[in-house]
């Protein structure tokens, strides 16, 4: 595998598994490898300039940091071991099944998500280099279909996490990049979110996003104690970055193409 290729989508895994469904556009990265033994077929996020040891709090962002600091890929994609972009239309049978989501209110949670156990069928539908480059002829970025929340982003975050996090985040932005405050306020008061820290960006935009994102997160980390975040909340910086990436896209006014995601529900770590 050559991480220096002009186009790559990096798929972040939290534990190596057998991977036989990805095309040549993808690099599999073990996020949080942190000096464990090498595994064939996987790049670790613990070489060169890295933050692999922070994986408990940063989740897939330790992999993204590694990509930023240790590759020169000209077009960079980010996805997860179970979540992948697709340009394929959802088959009729899936669309009919989606109608059943309405009584249980799952339709909002799974909006833009093709939830499937059929890896053999969908492996051929994953976003590839030709499709991505064609989209980028017209657009600045490829992003996931925005998640629809029942509440505003601020209300949703405060319900499932700590509202104090958003207060601190706003204070940091006011100090370091006040030009982002209008976008920050707009995003927090809407109910649409670019979830999962997924995207495809040209290198210049990727570099700008990573510089701003990690500078913000590191400043946040310097002002809190990570020990106060337990269990699910431990992945604090992954949660914050989803909101921050949405803010960055809003501020930059990028022209983006939203793509649905394939979610392989039976693929285990």
* pLDDT, tens digit (0-9, with 9 covering 90-100), for 118-155: 899 899 999 999 999 999 999 999 999 999 999 999 99
pLDDT band at 269 (very low <50, low <70, confident <90, very high): very low
Measure Cα distances from 74 to 140, 143, 202 in Å. 13, 17, 6
The predicted model gives 9-35 an average pLDDT of 95
The predicted model gives 112-123 an average pLDDT of 88
pLDDT band at 98 (very low <50, low <70, confident <90, very high): low
| Phi and psi, residue 84, nearest 5° | -140, 145
The answer to whether 96 and 116 are in contact (CB under 8 A) is no
139 vs 4: which has the higher pLDDT: 139
pLDDT band at 27 (very low <50, low <70, confident <90, very high): very high
Q: How far apart (Å, rounded) are the C-alpha atoms in residues 225 and 218?
A: 12
Strands 83-85 and 113-116: unpaired
What rounded mean pLDDT belongs to the chain? 92
The predicted pLDDT at position 267 comes to 73
pTM for this predicted structure: 0.92
The predicted pLDDT at position 5 comes to 72
Alpha-helix residue ranges (DSSP H) falling in 161-229 = 163-176, 181-188, 203-222
Least confidently predicted of 94-108, 217-231, 251-265: 94-108
110 vs 222: which has the higher pLDDT: 222
The predicted model gives 70-78 an average pLDDT of 97
DSSP label at residue 38: P
The predicted model gives 75-83 an average pLDDT of 96
The answer to whether 112 and 145 are in contact (CB under 8 A) is yes
129 vs 89: which has the higher pLDDT: 129
Residues near 53 by beta carbon (within 8 Å), at least 6 away in sequence: 34
The predicted pLDDT at position 16 comes to 93
The predicted pLDDT at position 97 comes to 63
Number of H helices, E strands in the chain: 12, 12
* pLDDT, tens digit (0-9, with 9 covering 90-100), for 189-239: 999 999 999 999 999 999 999 999 999 999 999 999 999 999 999 999 999
Helix, strand, coil percent content, the chain, rounded in steps of 5: 45, 20, 35
The answer to whether 42 and 110 are in contact (CB under 8 A) is no
**Percent of the chain whose predicted confidence (pLDDT) is above 70:** 90
Count of CB atoms within 10 A of residue 93's CB? 8
């Amino acid at each position: 595998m050559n991480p220096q290729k002009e186009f790559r989508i990096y798929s972040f895994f939290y534990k190596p598994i057998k991977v036989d469904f990805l095309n040549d556009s993808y690099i599999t990265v073990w996020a949080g490898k942190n000096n464990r033994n090498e595994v064939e077929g996987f790049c670790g996020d613990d070489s060169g300039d890295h933050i692999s040891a922070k994986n408990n709090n940063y989740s897939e962002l330790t992999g993204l940091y590694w990509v930023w600091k240790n590759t020169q890929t000209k077009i960079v994609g980010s996805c997860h071991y179970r979540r992948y972009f697709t340009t394929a239309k959802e088959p009729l049978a899936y669309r009919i099944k989606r109608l059943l989501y309405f009584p249980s209110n799952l339709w909002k949670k799974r909006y833009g998500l093709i939830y499937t156990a059929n890896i053999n069928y969908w492996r051929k539908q994953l976003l590839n280099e030709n499709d991505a480059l064609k989209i980028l002829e017209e657009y600045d970025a490829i992003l996931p279909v925005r998640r629809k929340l029942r509440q505003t982003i601020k209300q949703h975050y405060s319900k499932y996490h700590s509202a104090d996090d958003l207060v601190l985040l706003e204070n940091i932005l006011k100090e370091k990049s006040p030009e982002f405050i209008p976008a920050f306020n707009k995003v927090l008061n809407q109910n649409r979110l670019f979830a999962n820290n997924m995207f495809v960006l040209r290198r210049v935009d990727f570099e700008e996003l990573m510089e701003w994102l990690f500078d913000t997160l590191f400043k946040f980390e310097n002002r809190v104690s990570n020990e106060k975040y337990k269990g699910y909340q431990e992945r604090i910086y992954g949660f914050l970055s989803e909101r921050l990436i949405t803010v960055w896209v809003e501020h930059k006014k990028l022209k983006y193409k939203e793509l649905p995601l394939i979610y392989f529900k039976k693929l285990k770590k």
